[in-house]
Structures are given as C-alpha cells and as structure tokens.
Structure 1
Amino acid sequence: MTRVIEFRQFYKRHGDFALSNLNFHVEAGYITGLIGPNGSGKTTIIRSIMNAIRPDRGEVLVFGQSYRTHERDIKRKIGFVYDEDFFYNHLSIREMKLIVASFYPTWNEDAFRRYLDEFGLPERKKIRDLSKGMRTKFALAAALAHDPELLVMDEPTSGLDPVFRQELLSVLSDYIRDGTKSVLFSTHICADLERIADYIVYIGRGELRFSGTKEELFDRYAIVKGPVELLRDELPFVGLRQTRHGFEGLLDRERIGTEALDPALLMERPTLDDIVVFTREGT
C-alpha cells in the first residue's frame, strides 16, 4: 500500500515533554484516526505534518517527499481544518475565500459554492458573526474546494452538536469514496472515529501505543467484568477499576488466552474510549 504520511525516528522535545522516536505511517485511500489523551502529543504531530514544527531528530515524509525540498508541492496537495481559528474575522466569507483561493492553482469555485449551499453558509456574512459550527463548515469547504489528496483535521468536531458531527462524517466518507484521497482525523471524541475510521494511531504520553487497523486494535483488548472474589493478580490488566461489589478492567489479549479466564467473568468488546481511559489509568 502507498504511504501518504510517514514518521521516521521522529523526536521532538518541548520543555519536560517529548515525542520519542515515533515510527508509524498513514495509508493512502483511508481515514486514519489519531487518538490519545489531552497533552499526549496529537497537535504536535499534526503541526509536524504541516511543517509548522520541525523535529529535533528524524523526519516526516508526506507523499513520499520531504519538506526540505518539496514544501510548496506538498502543501498544495493538503487541505487542513484546525480547531483554532486562523481566518481574518473582519472579512466576509466571500472576501476570505478570495485570499484562500489565491494559494491553490487547483481551486474549484463550483465545488466551493456547492459546499456553501450544502452547509448553509451565506457568503456575505462576516467571519466574526459565524458560530463555531459554521466556522468549521467554512474551513472544511475551503479545504475541500482545491481538491486535496490529503485532508488533515485537528479536533474538527470539538464543541459541535451531534447533528453537524454526523454531517461531517458523511462528507468525509464521500471524500474518500474513489480511493484516491486520504484523511488524518485527530480528535478526543472517539465515538466519531468508531463510526468512520479505518486505521487508528494511538499516542500516549509522547509514545506510540498502537498503529494499525481499527479492528486489530479492538481484537487486541477486551473489557472484563466480574465480582471481586474472581479478581486474580496474574490477570494482565492494562487498567483496572475496583469497588466493593465488583471490578472492570481492560485486558491485553496478547498476554493471555481466553480459555484461561473464569467462565463466570463477563468479557466485552471495548470502545475506543475504554482503551484510551484504561491504558491511561494503568500507566
């Protein structure tokens, strides 16, 4: 498979925090979710992909190319949607669009207007008068209008209502439908990724915890529940919660066979939230 993004021995330090020797890649033609607790390094990874942050050691390749020699070519093929607002608030949607469009030779005005209509965005409205959801819709319309090969999104659904979150996921599904486009979607709302992501990259405390398909991640772990009298020290829990009445924990399937579990225990498929919460509690 083609690698649209590749981190090679990536190391970056900020004060007491460091992203340590990251090695992973993002497959072309799919939606990849970037997950991890707040402060785990997700935004640093996103900014490194956009060349806003450069590593102390190692490198980031995008489309198989390095920013050292192909920055303009790389950035013209990326659409990005940040959680932060980078638009000029005193301008209207139409005026801001003229600035954005000037950077992209592949800008498609018909596509942009189609997204304005689909998202219900009035082009005469000032950026400062848009709600958070409308600003995100405008950012997405501007990102998609130049037909990028890669869409990079940093917390795009944060603070948005469920209706628009579902609408956004539908747009992303349509975007990758022909198999030539890719999405990297960073979010702490794991439920969104459970519905749409093909691959997951999980970062915890500056280290790579997992990189692979979503199903591979779910197959690796199990939620185990039961009464406290069945709790055994030899069970390889990644994270555990215990009360007087029972326990619930995340079990690493790679370290124990299911046949070794007491049949009285309840085993369930974890959610992405379960995996993030329990692995964080267990560290």
Structure 2
Amino acid sequence: MDILKVQGLCKAYPAFALSDVSFTLEAGHITGFIGRNGAGKSTTLNSLLHYVHPDAGRITFFNQDWEKNELAIKEKIGFVGSSIQYYPLKKLSKITAITRSFFSQWDDVAYARYMTLFNLDENKTPKQLSAGMKVKYALALALSHNAELLLLDEPTSGLDPVSRDELLDVFLTLCDKGKSILFSTHITSDLDKCADDIIYIKKGQIIAEESFKHFVTRYQVVTLPEGTTPSANDPRLMGIKRSKQGDTALVRTTDAAGLGFPSREADLEDIMVHFEKENPSCMQSI
C-alpha cells in the first residue's frame, strides 16, 4: 500500500523552484531522501504538511486527501524539521505536557523509553541542550504518539556516531513493526545501513526514485589511467572527478567492462558526488 502519494508538487521562489515533484512511499519501508544543500529536500518535506504552501500538486496520506483530512492525518504522522525551536527556558517536561495534549494516541511508556534511550533529562531546558540533544528530544516526541509515518529532515545531523547508530536501530525496529519513515540526510552511510528505497532530488526535480539496492548496483566507479584525457562527450562517463590516484568517473554497470578501465562497485556517496558534477543534459537518462 502507498502510505504517501505526491503528484505534481510545485513551489516557486525568486531563485528556486520545485518542479513537478512526484513520488510514493510504500508502507513499512525506510526511504532516504537525498540531494545536495539547496536541492529542495526541506522545501518538499515542509510542503507535504503545508508548512510551506505549494503552488500546485496533490498530496494524499493513507489514501486520504490532505486538504479534507488534515487533523486526522496529523495524528498518524511524526515530523521533525531541520530547524527545531522550543521555548528556551521552559523545562522539557512542560513542553512534553503541551505536546501530549495534541495526540489522542500518545504513549507515555514509549516516551519514557525514548527519553531513557537518548539520555534526556526532563528537568533541563532547551537552552541547556546541545544541537544533537535537541534533535534527540524532537525525535522522542515524534516517536511517542504511535505515528504510522515519520517525516524527518536531517534527523541524524549533529549526532555522534554511537547516537546515530542507536537511532538507526530504532528506525529498523519501527520498520519491523510496519511503520514507514522518510528522512533526508547528507550522511549517506546511514542510508547504507537502513534504507529500502531512495528518492534523489536535484535542483528541485526528482531524478531518481527506486529501491536502494537497484539504484546502487546500477553504477560502478572507474579509475582513469594517469594522462588519460577522456572525451567530455563520451556519454558513458558521468561526473569526472579529479584525484591524485587517478581521475574517476561514474559509469553504468553495463558499460564498465567495455571501457577497459579499472572499476569497483559504487556506493551512495560515489553516486551523489559524481551526479552533482554531471552535465545537466545527461541527467535525463540516469
């Protein structure tokens, strides 16, 4: 079942625009939303809940139209935005009490469990928390009302490696229980550990939407021998990147053997780095 369906989402600003953004999320999947800074990830996520009002497009959650079922849908969604702001001098216990009142399915047992897991003290104020601890607190709130879908904008940003790993374990456990997660991130190694699917946005347009495994295995990285000057018009070479060990390029796995250059499997970071160097005219066929 598609838990979220986005069709033709558009939002124009003077210097940037989302253009015909369309994608679906499958229930029980973890989906990574990737793209460089300014590509449109936060604008898309905020548009889904109308924190940013789209110029066009249709958004349905759980087969319900957002415009007609906003309150019911919000009960089923946990959202953590990229800029988390709380009353700086209010204790977390007070903020939690206010948040609890908005959700009929609030789970105090789950809340206590996540506060313990994230090593959070309810007697502290947001002003006393580091950036990473504020993210953890926001996640504790989002995870505590039995949401069926989590929309998370850079949730692992500012967390240390151990805390990130703990959070990814939580994501995997939630997925096992049938929950769905869409999260944007620049830390591609996090997606290597947990993502089922990938949505890639570049300059306000979706350029890839598919399973993580299929997306990654479609590409390899070739190392060009020293002194090689490949033709810029060779459509097989995508996003040539300089390196002291030999320039590299991304190629489709089906083309790698025919080039005759040393090659290796690409990971998600390889693909992102080379895609962002690629000539826009070549991106239509990725």
Same fold (TM over 0.5): yes
SS at the partner of 1:83? coil
Mapped to 2, the partners of 1:115 and 1:57 lie a distance apart of 38
2:69 aligned counterpart, secondary structure:
helix
1:111 matched residue in structure 2: 110
Partner Cα distance (2:257, 2:123) in 1: 64
Deviation, 1:27, is: 1.2
1:185 Cα offset (Å) = 0.9
Contact 2:42 2:82 in 1 (8 A): no
Tell me whether 1:224 sits opposite 2:222 in the alignment.
yes
For the aligned residues, what is the CA RMSD? Answer: 1.7
Distance 1:210 1:63, change over 3 A: same
Conservation of the 8 A alpha-carbon contact between 1:11 and 1:58: yes
SS of the residue corresponding to residue 176 of structure 1 reads helix
Q: TM-score, normalized by length of structure 1? A: 0.92
Say if 2:10 is the partner of 1:14.
no
* Change beyond 3 A, Cα 1:225–1:126: same
Question: Would the alpha carbon gap of residues 16 and 29 (structure 1) be closer, same or farther in structure 2, given more than 3 Å must change?
Answer: same
Output one character per residue of 1:90-114: Cα deviation in whole Å (capped at 9) or x when no partner: 1111111001000000001121112
State the Cα distance separating 1:150 from its structure 2 match.
Answer: 0.3
Output one character per residue of 1:58-95: Cα deviation in whole Å (capped at 9) or x when no partner. 21222222221000011110011223123222111111
How far does the alpha carbon of each residue in 1:210-238 deviate from its partner, in whole angstroms, 9 at most, with x for none? Answer: 00101111122211113045654335112
The match for 2:266 is 270
- The question of whether the paired residues in 1 share the 8 Å contact of 2:224 and 2:247 is answered with yes
Tell me which residue corresponds to 1:184.
Answer: 182
Residue 132, structure 1, aligned to residue 125, structure 2: no
Return 5+ residue gaps in structure 1 as ranges.
none
Instruction: Report the secondary structure of 2:102's partner residue.
Output: coil
The alpha-carbon deviation at position 176 of structure 1 amounts to 1.3
1:259 is displaced (CA, Å) by 4.1
1:16 to partner: Cα distance: 2.4
8 A Cα contact 1:240 1:282, kept in partner: yes
Counterpart position of 1:281: 277
Which residue of structure 1 aligns with residue 282 of structure 2? none
Residues 228 and 242, structure 1, Cα contact 8 Å, conserved in 2: no
Match for residue 214 of structure 1? 212
CA deviations 1:150-189 (Å, max 9, x no partner) are: 01110111122111111111111111112x2100011111
Paired residues of 1:200 and 1:211 also in contact (CA < 8 A)? yes
Structure 2 partner of 1:49: 48
**Percentage of matched positions with identical amino acids:** 37
TM-aligned CA deviation for residue 244 of structure 1 = 8.2
- Where does 1:1-283 land on structure 2 (aligned, <5 Å)? 2-178=1-177, 180-228=178-226, 232-233=230-231, 234=234, 236-242=236-242, 246-253=246-253, 257-262=255-260, 265-283=261-279
- Partners of 1:190 and 1:246 in 2: how far apart? 23
Contact (CA 8 Å) 2:256, 2:263: kept in 1 or not?
Answer: no
Aligned residues: 277
For residues 3 and 79 of structure 1, what CA distance do their matches in structure 2 show?
17
8 Å Cα contact 1:228/1:244 also seen in 2: no
In structure 1, what residue type is equivalent to 2:185? T
Q: Tell me how far apart the structure 1 counterparts of residues 268 and 157 of structure 2 sit (CA, whole Å).
A: 17
Contact 2:35 2:41 in 1 (8 A): yes
| Whole-angstrom CA distance in 2 between matches of 1:106 and 1:174 | 19
- For 1:39, give the aligned amino acid: G
Instruction: Work out whether residues 81 and 140 of structure 1, in 8 Å CA contact, stay in contact via their aligned partners in 2.
Output: yes
Unaligned runs of 5+ in 2: 280-286
Give the TM-score taking structure 2 as reference length. Answer: 0.91
Instruction: Tell me the amino acid that sits aligned with residue 183 of structure 1.
Output: I
Alpha-carbon contact 1:79-1:151 (below 8 Å) kept = yes
Whichever residue aligns with residue 247 of structure 2, its letter is F
Distance 1:273 1:139, change over 3 A: same
Q: Is the 8 A contact 1:89 1:126 kept in 2?
A: yes
- Residue deviations 1:113-170 (CA, integer Å, cap 9, x gap): 1222222211111121112222112111111110100011101111221111111111
Cα displacement (A) at 1:241: 2.2
